[in-house]
Amino acid sequence: MDYISPDCSLTVRRDAQLMLTYSQKIKDHFINPRNVGVLTDATVLGEVGSMASGQALKLYLKLDDGEVIRDARFQVFGSPSAIAASSALTEMLKDKHIDEAARITADDISSYLGGLPPEKMHTCVMSMEALEVALAMAEQQKSTQGADEAREQLAMLAAQVGTMQGQLGRLNALGERLTEKADLDPDEFNFKELPPMGGPSYDEELEVSLGELQASMKHLSQQLSSREEQLSVLESFIMNHHITDAGFISGSPVKQERVWISSGFGGRVDPFNGRAKMHKGVDFRGKPGTPILATGKGIISWAGRHPEFGNMVEIDHGNGLVTRYAHNSKLLVDVGTLVDEGQKIALMGRTGRATGVHLHYEVLKDGRQVNPARFLNARRG
């Protein structure tokens, strides 16, 4: 609906006497209206009135990331004063922050035009109503965007918590082994219980922002990784481990027939969003309930639910070598359990972020995924 005046001859005749009293600025904005037409890349739209009522207005606004109005256009069906008021408002809105725009009044529009007769002030009110609708839409979009950002931040926190839970599980299992081997008092070094803690229930001065919390969690995760490395070295001395031999893994995590590799290690198209993404493991497709086997001796450092991998098992084989088994329907082991190569640890499923029944298998060396292919065909020497 480009700029038109309704039944133009009748409208102009009806307003002929009023036109004589209009200021030169009103006449200018009626005869040469600014910013008329559709704004194709508008951020928000304010629409009021109807063709049936004889007065209708669409107000298009384009906002930048800082919520500043960079462009404004309109389409109107109405009298000369409605056209002039809409034209004036679009000029007044440009380069204003939405908070400034919200403070514009009908009287401001009238003053900008040099004053409208009282009987025509309703046209300024209609322009203000369209602006209010547009700004309400902008606020709604802002709230939706804020909710989306909050969900993304929560997902990031969940992933961080999942990583830290895995690290803590490995530390607890390692601590129990060291406690037993070094003949320490198990009550004094009980890795299954939280250490005693206390403090005030609430203190406003202790509140932290989400950014500070994420930074603290990242720092804590780094500390956990450092302590894990230190304890692993200590373990190798106390238990006289031959880490190179004990940490060797080989073979496939699934042995049954009719199980095949459906996706290899490396770049691929994400099955959920169609974007290119690095696939950091190997997927084995099979039937629900197919036994999942440990590919080497080790200790279960994770056995539980993961936000992305569903029911997941991780085995710490020592020397920084970890294997990961994801999307299982059922777990058959607990954290701290010692397992042998070939032992059943889970059943195949499609839990977590999965499009079908399969096992996602990863090999990690010092916390980084490596291509499992070198281990799938390996044989002990």
pLDDT tens-digit readout, 11-22 = 333 455 556 577
Residues facing 60 on adjacent strands: 45, 73
Confidence of residue 329 (pLDDT cuts 50, 70, 90): very high
d(CA 359, CA 324): 10
- The phi and psi torsions of 365 (rounded to 5 degrees) equal -120, 115
Lowest mean pLDDT across 138-142, 209-213, 362-366: 209-213
Calculate mean pLDDT across residues 105-134: 87
Q: List the CATH code of the domain at 8-141.
A: 3.90.1010.10
What percent of the chain shows pLDDT beyond 90? Answer: 19
What's the CA gap between 86 and 127, in Å, rounded? 6
Distance CA 145, CA 152 (A): 11
- Of the two residues 269 and 237, the one the predictor is more confident about is 269
pLDDT of residue 362: 93
| pLDDT tier, 342 (very low <50, low <70, confident <90, very high otherwise) | very high
Between 154 and 30, the more confident residue is 30
Closest among 65, 66, 37, 60 to 47, alpha carbons compared:
60
Q: Which residues pair with 361 in a beta bridge?
A: 282, 325
Mean per-residue pLDDT, 47-69:
84
Whole-number average pLDDT of the chain: 77
Contact (Cβ atoms closer than 8 angstroms) between residue 339 and residue 253: no
Confidence at residue 379, expressed as pLDDT on a 0 to 100 scale: 44
What distance in Å separates the CA atoms of residue 215 and residue 222, rounded to the nearest whole number?
Answer: 11
Helix or strand or coil: residue 280?
Answer: coil
Q: According to the model, what pLDDT value does residue 119 have?
A: 82
Is pLDDT above 70 for 302? yes
Pairwise pLDDT comparison (89 vs 164), residue with the higher score: 89
Residue 321 backbone dihedrals phi, psi, to 5 degrees: -100, 125
- Of the candidates 153, 137, 124, 130, the one whose C-alpha atom is nearest the C-alpha of residue 67 is 137
pLDDT reported for residue 11: 37
> Concatenated DSSP letters for 183-212?
T--TTTT-TTSPPP----S--GGG---HHH
Residue 100, CA distances (Å) to 131, 169, 208, 281 in order? 12, 54, 32, 53
Q: Where are the domains of the chain?
A: 8-141, 260-376
Q: Average pLDDT for residues 126-132, to the nearest whole number?
A: 88
Residue 197: pLDDT band (50, 70, 90) is: very low
> Residues near 151 by Cβ (< 8 Å), separated by ≥ 6?
none
Query: Would you mind telling me the total number of residues written for the chain in this entry?
Result: 381
CB count, 10 Å around CB of 209? 8
Q: How far is CA 192 from the centre of its chain?
A: 34
pLDDT of residue 235: 61
65-79, 145-159, 184-198, 346-360: segment of lowest average pLDDT? 184-198
228 pLDDT band (50/70/90 cuts)?
A: low
The per-residue pLDDT for range 248-284, each reduced to its tens digit, is 788 889 987 778 888 888 776 666 666 667 888 889 9
Domain 260-376: CATH class, spelled out = mainly beta
Lowest mean pLDDT among 37-51, 210-224, 301-315: 210-224
**pTM, entire model:** 0.42
Q: How many Cα atoms occupy the beta-carbon half-sphere of 277 within 13 Å?
A: 11
pLDDT at 148 over 80: no
Say yes or no to pLDDT of 241 above 60. no
pLDDT of 30 strictly over 70: yes
How far is it, in rounded angstroms, from Cα 365 to Cα 321?
5
At 156 the pLDDT is: 73
Provide the b/e sequence for 220-250 (b: ≥16 CB within 10 Å).
ebeebbeebeebbeebeeebeeebeebbbbe
Q: What is the DSSP letter of 68?
A: B
Beta-strand pair 276-279/266-269: antiparallel
Question: 12-21, 209-218, 332-341 — which one is most confidently predicted on average?
Answer: 332-341
Exposure string for 182-201, b = 16+ CB within 10 A, e = fewer? eeeeeeeeebeeeeeeeeee
For residue 354, count other CB atoms closer than 10 A to its CB. Answer: 19
Tell me the two tokens of residue 69. Answer: 């109005």
Q: Yes or no: say if 315 and 339 are a contact pair by the CB < 8 Å rule.
A: yes
Q: What is the pLDDT of residue 233?
A: 58
User: Predicted confidence band at 183 (pLDDT cuts at 50, 70, 90)?
Assistant: low
Distance CA 159, CA 154 (A): 9
**pLDDT score at 143:** 75
